[in-house]
Amino acid sequence: MAKIGNLEIDTGKFANYAVNAVATGTTSVGVPNVGGFPIRVQATAKVVYTGSGSNSSGGTTVTIRRSRDNAILWQRGYSWSGGGTKTAYLSDMFYDKDATTSETYTYAFSGTGGDLGGSVSISNQKLLALYVKK
């Protein structure tokens, strides 16, 4: 029996694997997925595109891999064009239904350059994994 103030909770009533936990990282996150259940993976970042003229362009491709088999689980391209500065807040989420008892995910950007004076910068990267904890 657990007691919080005047509240008493029978701890025997909680099933194994009934609690969710979050693992966080910037470009990599390890998940101790004891139950081997699906894992929800979410990646966020701030991307700033700057174009020096109307013919400028730039883009990036976001890739999330599972380290165990180097599988690409999520990949998405983003592109911008024109002059000026444009800010985007990226948020991509998926479920790894083939997760095993221990997984590591990596988050990478490629092609962050541009043409004719376009450039892309990445900041505030975050990788989150929601998993069931025993």
Q: Per residue in 73-125, pLDDT tens?
A: 999 999 999 999 999 999 988 999 999 999 999 999 887 777 788 889 999 99
Please tell me the pTM assigned to this model: 0.78
pLDDT in tens, 116-131: 888 899 999 999 999 8
Give the CATH architecture of domain 2-133: Sandwich (2.60)
Q: What is the CA radius of gyration of the chain?
A: 20
What are the structural domain ranges in the chain? 2-133
pLDDT for 16 equals 62
